[in-house]
């Protein structure tokens, strides 16, 4: 029996020792930087083509953009599931932006899962607080709640399909919050940039809006 117990303890030691060794393997930041920088180029590249798309081709363009986003999400989620939200000082600003944009363009369930990780990195000075505010606003909009920073607009609020800023919580202090989050413009200026109508008294839709 003693020999059996010793053998069991030996197996446990070897297994746990191997797992500990595997967990201590260095994170390949340089390789991840290269991958994420490439993903950033693809994410932004497809969107830079939007202005040249003819109205009759817009549906095909959006389908292609969704395809690109889906491919990018598979790659980025594999990274996030293995390493978590990576600190910007380790991968560089461009790669960090690639991480952000892919999650920002993902479904609500993905944003909900990884926004807390990004916010934690913001507190450590390792993620862009303005981008985190944008992601928080998007999640609030996707879940039918009022946004905090006025970064999100949609055509689903208007009968004619024109863009309108999603309803805002505490609109009186919106520009103060924007400044604290690092935004350089006001909510009014941002609405103009998005070619969206801004109504500080905008109400939430009576019926839930399905975004994705």
CA dist., res. 49 & res. 73, Å (int): 20
pLDDT tens digits along 42-68: 999 999 998 899 989 999 999 999 999
pLDDT tier at 99, thresholds 50, 70, 90: very high
What are the extents of the domains in the chain? 30-127, 145-206
pLDDT of residue 210: 79
Q: CA 59, 77, 130, 208: dihedral to nearest 10 degrees?
A: 50
pLDDT tens digits along 170-210: 999 999 999 999 999 999 999 999 999 999 999 999 877 87
CA dist., res. 110 & res. 81, Å (int): 11
Q: Which residue has the higher pLDDT, 77 or 159?
A: 77
Q: Are 113 and 85 in contact (CB under 8 A)?
A: no
pLDDT of residue 21: 46
pLDDT at 129 over 60: yes
């Amino acid at each position: 029996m003693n020999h059996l117990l010793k053998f069991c303890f030996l197996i446990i030691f070897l297994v746990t020792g191997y797992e500990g060794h595997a967990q201590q393997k260095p994170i390949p930041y340089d390789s991840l930087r290269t991958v994420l920088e490439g993903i950033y180029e693809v994410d932004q590249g497809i969107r830079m083509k939007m202005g040249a798309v003819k109205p009759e081709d817009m549906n095909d363009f959006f389908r292609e953009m969704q395809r690109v986003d889906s491919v990018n999400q598979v790659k980025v989620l594999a990274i996030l599931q293995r390493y978590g939200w990576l600190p910007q000082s380790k991968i560089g600003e461009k790669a960090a932006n690639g991480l952000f944009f892919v999650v920002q363009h993902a479904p609500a369930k993905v944003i909900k899962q990884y926004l807390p990780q990004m916010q934690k990195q913001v507190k450590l000075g390792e993620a862009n607080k303005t981008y985190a505010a944008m992601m928080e606003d998007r999640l609030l909009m996707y879940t039918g709640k009022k946004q905090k920073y006025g970064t999100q607009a949609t055509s689903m609020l208007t009968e004619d399909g024109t863009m309108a800023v999603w309803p805002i919580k505490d609109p009186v202090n919106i520009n103060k919050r924007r400044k604290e989050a690092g935004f350089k413009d006001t909510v009014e200026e941002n609405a103009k940039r998005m070619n969206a109508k801004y109504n500080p008294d905008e109400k939430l839709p009576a019926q839930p809006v399905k975004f994705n």
